[in-house]
């Protein structure tokens, strides 16, 4: 299956049109409105009054700076405790289970609103409060269901999913604690301010965690080996594949916003990358066992890059005109590949783990050396674009400088065996490589200007320079490795592959790798790439299986822009496979179940399955983006037993 040429040309024409339209100035807040403050959900709002907990919430016109002091300020409606500054996110509602709540709501804006989410466990239709402009209402209820939730506001006549810029920050965390439970946790509320235009102009958007986008998000400070809990609330009407660097976590509960469901202990498994649905919550805990600087971030590249920043957005018509002129000068796609312009933005939080006294990093003695070259090959991809990719150097003979392998070669590492991966950058731009999911020291983790410990901070790999990533992989499993610099461009162009840690060498007749990744750079600065590859091709080579044998299928999802779905079927029959591992960690026995061969995955996730075909024949693994765009079938041929006469 290929892309119709017509569609590609259409998209390119659109790209040229878009580039000619200037951005227009952002809306500005009315003079004199209150400035919203941001906060980290550490101090519960309200006060005890006669055996009840009283909370007085106003909705006010406000001005908010979602990024730095010199970045744009935008108008919003915000929640404020009566008599106090408006807050993004709204004031924290946190009480013990059984608390009788008395909430006073006042709408000081000039728009009719609907407020909801204050009474978790109550049906949505019973849990909304109509609030006309200028109106005040009192509601009283008891909070009975332990968990993580959020309250919200929307313009009357619209729903949570309709919110655009003005009402998008009307969100506040709700946490109901079991009596005596620890409240030492971190509550992270994701929101976005989104302004689309009717004309063919780039939209304006900023995505934030607790009111700020990277690099202005609040850094979470942890102590080595001091276990912690995150409560994550997604008020954005989009999925996010959230990734924790360096550590595995266990999901303790998953919520819909109004209902929070604990995960039984036997079904809690280790993972490091999970999709959070729109308006859902997730609560997980982890042990930060290795000190240094780590990240928790969205693994959709365009939720953690220049797409989701207002920095540089025009604030007046002069700036808009200048920006339009520079766009024209660069052409439709002229600056997409310049890593020098790139920095992370949006849905990224830093985590700093302070070392225990006397901490010493494990020494990497007697390491095996692997030489990994980062190179490019012009005109290799469907668009005629340059492919970026990896190639392994074996022995003394140096691979051609314009050779790349798509996807990157499988890096085969042995558990507990130290390795020195010498990454040589033969690109004409900087790069950086992240070993996704490996529990290693921070310094080789590969986040430019962040990974490291104390003053020993890693930078990036300059053109013609090398970096030695030295570590000892502690766990056998399936992982991605990929660029962590200018991710959207570099990963879509091919800088990704599978890294497999084993105890014993793999039997390649029974152990198969399926890597789903990018197939070409985005065509427009703010749009996703419509191209994908399975095992480096749009028509991937068939897998060859043997009847009656157990086969391990290792699936790596590393397309930076899309959720993908994989379904293995034979006509209308869906195969059955046994789940073995997720994100490199073996599943608990209770989860190693036989199930239909269907899985949805976000970028950065891996899943291992065991498949035992019982009859010869042909299966097809249907690989597609969940949202739209592309479909790639992978044929799975099941041959007779070796030595069989039939
Ligand atoms: Cu995201």
CA dihedral 499, 269, 299, 192 (to 10 degrees): 180
* pLDDT per position as a tens digit, 116-155: 999 988 877 778 999 999 999 999 999 999 999 999 999 9
- Domains contained in the chain, number: 2
Residue 563 lies in a domain: yes
Residue 108 lies in a domain: yes
Is residue 383 very low, low, confident or very high in pLDDT (cuts 50, 70, 90)? confident
* pLDDT per position as a tens digit, 58-108: 999 999 999 999 899 999 999 999 999 999 999 999 999 999 999 999 999
Ligand 1 mean position to 304 CA, how many Å?
7
Ligand 1 mean position to 557 CA, how many Å?
15
- Mean pLDDT confidence for 339-354: 84
Ligand 1 mean position to 601 CA, how many Å?
13
Residue 66 lies in a domain: yes
* pLDDT per position as a tens digit, 553-609: 999 999 999 999 999 999 889 999 999 999 999 999 999 999 999 999 999 999 999
Q: What share of the chain is helix, strand, coil (3-state, %, to 5)?
A: 10, 45, 45
- Mean pLDDT confidence for 162-174: 96
In the structure encoding, which two tokens stand for residue 34, read together?
Answer: 């209150």
Ligand 1 mean position to 308 CA, how many Å?
10
Is residue 640 very low, low, confident or very high in pLDDT (cuts 50, 70, 90)? very high
CA dihedral 598, 602, 604, 606 (to 10 degrees): -10
Instruction: Supply the pLDDT for residue 572.
Output: 85
Instruction: Supply the pLDDT for residue 14.
Output: 42
> Which of 149-158, 359-368, 525-534, 579-588 has the least mean pLDDT?
525-534
Ligand 1 mean position to 352 CA, how many Å?
22
* pLDDT per position as a tens digit, 417-444: 999 999 999 999 999 999 999 999 999 9
Full DSSP string of 54-95:
EEEEEEEEEEE-SS-TTS--EEEEEEEETTS-EEESEEEEEE
Ligand 1 mean position to 241 CA, how many Å?
6
Residues 6+ apart with CB under 8 A from 455: none
| 339 vs 299, higher pLDDT | 299
* pLDDT per position as a tens digit, 274-285: 999 999 999 999
Instruction: Supply the pLDDT for residue 98.
Output: 96
| 523 vs 283, higher pLDDT | 283
Last residue of a domain, one of 164, 182, 200: 182
Residues, CB-to-ion distance under 5 Å, ligand 1: 240, 298, 300, 303
Whether residue 527 is predicted with pLDDT greater than 70 in this model: the reply is: yes
Last residue of a domain, one of 154, 182, 210: 182
Distance CA 542, CA 390 (A): 23
Residue 197 lies in a domain: no
Domain, as residue range, for 586: 368-639
Ligand 1 mean position to 571 CA, how many Å?
35
> Which of 52-61, 324-333, 536-545, 593-602 has the least mean pLDDT?
324-333
Question: Any idea what the CATH number is for the domain that residue 55 is in?
Answer: 2.60.40.420
Ligand 1 mean position to 240 CA, how many Å?
4
Going by C-alpha positions, the residue among 584, 622, 634, 599 that lies closest to residue 244 is 584
Residues 6+ apart with CB under 8 A from 325: none
Instruction: Supply the pLDDT for residue 645.
Output: 43
The residue written with tokens 């507990």 in the block is 416
Whether residue 316 is predicted with pLDDT greater than 60 in this model: the reply is: no
Whether residue 3 is predicted with pLDDT greater than 90 in this model: the reply is: no
CA dihedral 622, 628, 629, 631 (to 10 degrees): 10
Is residue 340 very low, low, confident or very high in pLDDT (cuts 50, 70, 90)? very low
Ligand 1 mean position to 303 CA, how many Å?
5
Ligand 1 mean position to 128 CA, how many Å?
28
What angle do the packed helices 317-330 and 5-20 form, to 10 degrees?
140
Ligand 1 mean position to 182 CA, how many Å?
29
Whether residue 338 is predicted with pLDDT greater than 60 in this model: the reply is: no
Residue 176 lies in a domain: yes
Instruction: Supply the pLDDT for residue 482.
Output: 98
Residue 106 lies in a domain: yes
Ligand 1 mean position to 209 CA, how many Å?
11
Judge contact between 474 and 439, C-beta under 8 A: yes
Instruction: Supply the pLDDT for residue 317.
Output: 44
CA distances from 291 to 361, 427, 451, 468 (A): 9, 32, 11, 20
Last residue of a domain, one of 162, 182, 202: 182
Residue 287 lies in a domain: no
Residue 482 lies in a domain: yes
Ligand 1 mean position to 238 CA, how many Å?
7
> Which of 84-93, 184-193, 433-442, 619-628 has the least mean pLDDT?
619-628
* pLDDT per position as a tens digit, 224-267: 999 999 999 999 999 999 999 999 999 999 999 999 999 999 99
The residue written with tokens 């050396």 in the block is 369
């Amino acid at each position: 299956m290929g892309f119709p040429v017509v569609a590609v040309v259409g998209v390119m024409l659109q790209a040229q049109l878009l580039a000619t339209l200037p951005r227009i100035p952002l809306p500005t807040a009315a003079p004199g409105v209150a400035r919203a403050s941001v906060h980290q959900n550490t101090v519960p709002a309200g006060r005890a009054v006669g055996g009840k907990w009283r909370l007085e919430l106003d909705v006010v016109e406000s001005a908010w700076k979602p990024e730095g002091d010199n970045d744009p300020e935008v108008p919003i409606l915000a929640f404020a405790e009566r008599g106090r500054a408006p807050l993004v996110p709204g004031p924290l509602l946190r009480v013990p289970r059984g608390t009788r709540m008395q909430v006073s709501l006042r709408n000081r804006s000039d728009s009719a609103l609907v407020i909801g989410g204050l009474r978790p466990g109550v049906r949505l239709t019973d849990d909304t409060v109509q609030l006309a402009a200028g109106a005040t209402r009192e509601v009283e209820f008891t909070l009975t269901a332990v968990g993580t939730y959020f309250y919200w506001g929307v313009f009357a006549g619209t729903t949570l999913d309709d919110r655009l810029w003005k009402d998008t920050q009307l969100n506040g965390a709700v946490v109901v604690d079991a009596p005596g439970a620890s409240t030492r946790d971190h509550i992270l509320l994701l929101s976005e301010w989104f302004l689309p235009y009717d004309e063919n102009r780039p939209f304006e958007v900023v995505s934030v965690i607790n009111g700020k986008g990277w690099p202005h998000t609040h850094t979470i400070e942890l102590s080595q080996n001091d276990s912690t809990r995150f409560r994550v609330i997604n008020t954005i009407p989009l999925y996010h594949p959230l990734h924790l660097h360096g550590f595995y976590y266990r999901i303790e509960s998953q919520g819909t916003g109004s209902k929070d469901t604990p995960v039984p202990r036997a079904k809690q498994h280790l993972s490091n990358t999970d999709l959070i649905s729109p308006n859902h919550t997730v609560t997980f805990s982890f042990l930060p066992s290795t000190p240094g600087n780590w990240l928790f971030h969205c693994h959709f590249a365009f939720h953690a890059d220049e797409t989701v920043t207002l920095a540089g957005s025009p604030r007046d018509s002069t700036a808009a005109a200048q920006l339009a002129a520079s766009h024209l000068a660069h052409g439709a796609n002229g600056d997409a590949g310049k890593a020098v312009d790139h920095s992370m933005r949006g849905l990224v939080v830093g985590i700093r783990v302070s070392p225990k006294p006397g901490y010493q990093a494990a020494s990497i003695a007697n390491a095996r050396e692997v030489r990994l070259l980062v190179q490019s090959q012009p005109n290799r991809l469907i668009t005629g674009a340059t492919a970026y990719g990896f190639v392994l150097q074996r022995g003394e003979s140096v691979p051609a400088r314009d050779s790349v392998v798509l996807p990157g070669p499988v890096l085969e590492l042995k558990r507990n065996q130290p390795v020195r991966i010498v990454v040589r950058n033969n690109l004409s731009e900087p790069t950086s490589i992240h070993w996704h999911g490996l529990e290693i020291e921070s310094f080789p983790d590969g986040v430019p200007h962040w990974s490291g410990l104390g003053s020993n901070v890693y930078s990036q790999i300059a053109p013609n320079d090398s970096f030695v990533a030295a570590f000892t992989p502690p766990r056998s499993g399936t992982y991605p490795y990929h660029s962590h610099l200018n991710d959207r461009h570099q990963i879509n162009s091919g800088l990704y592959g599978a890294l497999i840690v084993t105890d014993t060498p793999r039997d390649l007749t029974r152990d198969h790798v399926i890597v789903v990744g990018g197939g070409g750079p985005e065509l427009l600065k703010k749009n996703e790439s419509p191209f994908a590859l399975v095992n480096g091709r749009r028509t991937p080579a068939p897998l060859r299986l043997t009847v009656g044998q157990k086969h391990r299928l290792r699936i790596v999802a590393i397309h930076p822009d899309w959720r993908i779905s994989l379904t293995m079927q034979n006509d209308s029959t869906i195969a059955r496979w046994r789940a073995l591992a997720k994100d490199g960690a073996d599943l608990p026995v209770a989860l190693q179940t036989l199930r239909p061969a269907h899985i949805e995955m976000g970028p950065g996730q891996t899943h291992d399955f065991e498949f035992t075909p019982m009859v010869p024949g042909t299966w097809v693994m249907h690989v597609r983006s969940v949202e739209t765009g592309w479909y790639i079938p992978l044929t799975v041929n099941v041959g007779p037993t070796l030595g069989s006469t039939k």
